[in-house]
Amino acid sequence: MAGAMDLRLMSAGVRGMFFMLTPNESSFEKVEEVPHYVQQATPFFIGLMVLEVVVGFLKTGTPAITLGDGLTSVFSGMISRLPMLLVRGCELTAYMYVWDKYRLLELPWDSAWTWWFSFLGVDFCYYWVHRLAHEVSFIWAAHQVHHSSEYYNLTTALRQSLTQQFTSWIFYLPLALVAPPSIFAVHIQLNLLYQFWIHTELIKNLGPLEWIFNTPKHHRVHHGRNLYCIDKNYGGILIIWDRLFGTFAEEKEKVIYGLVFPINTFDILYVQLHYYFDLWGRSQTYKTIADKVLTFLNGPSWKPGKRRLGDHVDNPVVTGKEVPHDPSWSLPLQLYVVIHFLLVLWTYHDLFEKKMMMSQLTVLGMVLYILLTLTSLSYIIDQRPTASLLEMLRCVVMVTMQRYNCMTPLLPSLAVPTEAFVSLSLLYWALQSFSQLLSIKNKAD
């Protein structure tokens, strides 16, 4: 009986990623009954990423994912979910409020018509969420995180913004006037899940499906910085919205991925926040208050005297020979980062599992530790001069947390080896920091 239940859950998990669930099995009366589809899909995310690496290597002889870029994408995905530990998701919270206070019509939650209407409604709203994220600079400041990778693989789908959810909720509110929150909670997850598998270069063409659905071929264009790719193919599950509203583009010459002006760093906080500072700095160069405000409201390439969305005359010319940012770093450091990433990933998972049993202060402290860890590891990947000192301080924090049982080992038998490894890590980075300080002193003398 338990085995049959597991098989059904596994089947639903796989089909959910490709929007193949039926209304009967994914309609619920209450929000509390809606499964955590995205969370349940984690094993399938991992499985498909491993499959992509294997198939990509067999086809091309090179891995589809580089360690530095792939980890940065995973780090971003982890960071994007941290606010959920402290506050309920903005989209669902705002939706439920409007539904409770202002709904005009109550569509039946157990009707297939309601289910399909909500599917179209959520996907239509997502199109405008996504389009405005490219056309309004302060929203683009959040969304640019997803476009910052110069690679295109399944890890890129995980490269999400810490702040985007704080603006995206607005666009779904019209749907809250008629569609039950429980059905919305299903489709907002399924819409997101579908968009995972389209982040790959291995699937070239899906034939007639290309006319209706968003596919890897269409979404590759969306992630390109070639002139023909910019601000195209915003669809979530369906590509028909782009065809209707004139934002569709076919894949032509080789797509070069990433931001128009590459940031050339894996510093996770810079990846998440740099564009906000760029916008502020740009606004300060303009004289009138109107131009300062429009810096945030108009398109990312707007300047005074240009149309609302600006133009692309200042964009670097794409030659097709661009080389993605991929700093070299030693194999021992790579192993070190992977091991410490797995340790913080377990802490991250444990925090989400036990958050209801923790005080808000404890949760906040753990969130800050996770941010510190991801930042420090990204410094190591980037080979930053300050990486040694930051990692030494992080190891001090980690040793302290282990001493006071603030961290749960993956297995009880691994508790002592883990503590020993962390202590050795602290010693190594302390020696590195001392060596660097001594070198600086000698140069000063």
Mean pLDDT of the residues in the chain: 92
Residues 351 and 205 in one domain: no
Q: Would 280 be classed as within a structural domain?
A: no
Quickly state the pLDDT bin for 157 (edges 50, 70, 90).
Answer: very high
- pLDDT top residue among 406 and 70: 70
Residues 220 and 126 in one domain: yes
Residues 335 and 240 in one domain: no
Residues 174 and 31 in one domain: yes
Residues 340 and 207 in one domain: no
Q: Would 424 be classed as within a structural domain?
A: yes
* Domain termination site, one of 226, 245, 264: 245
Please tell me the distance from the alpha carbon of residue 349 to that of residue 413, in angstroms, as a whole number: 19
How many domains does the chain contain in total?
2
Q: Is the pTM of this model over 0.85?
A: yes
Q: Which single residue is written with the structure tokens 């009967």? A: 24
Q: What is the pLDDT of residues 341-394, one digit of tens each?
A: 999 999 999 998 888 888 888 899 999 999 999 999 999 999 998 999 999 999
Residues 240 and 340 in one domain: no
DSSP bridge partners of 142: none
Please tell me the distance from the alpha carbon of residue 142 to that of residue 137, in angstroms, as a whole number: 9
Within 10 angstroms of residue 224's Cβ, the number of other Cβ atoms is 25
Q: Would 3 be classed as within a structural domain?
A: no
**What six digits make up the tokens of 139?**
């929203």
* Domain termination site, one of 212, 245, 278: 245
**In angstroms, what CA-CA distances link 252 with 204, 217, 224, 241, 318?**
12, 10, 11, 20, 14
Q: Would 197 be classed as within a structural domain?
A: yes
Q: Would 2 be classed as within a structural domain?
A: no
Residues 6 or more apart whose CB falls under 8 angstroms from that of 315 comprise 225, 227, 230, 260, 301
Residues 22 and 163 in one domain: yes
Residue 181 near residue 121, CB atoms below 8 Å: no
**What six digits make up the tokens of 219?**
């979404």
Q: What mean pLDDT is predicted for residues 167-184? A: 95
Q: Would 275 be classed as within a structural domain?
A: no
Minimum mean pLDDT range among 110-114, 228-232, 316-320? 316-320
Radius of gyration of the chain (CA): 23
- Where in the sequence is the domain holding 415, given as residue range(s)? 331-436
Q: What mean pLDDT is predicted for residues 139-165? A: 95
* Domain termination site, one of 245, 265, 288: 245
**What six digits make up the tokens of 199?**
């982040």
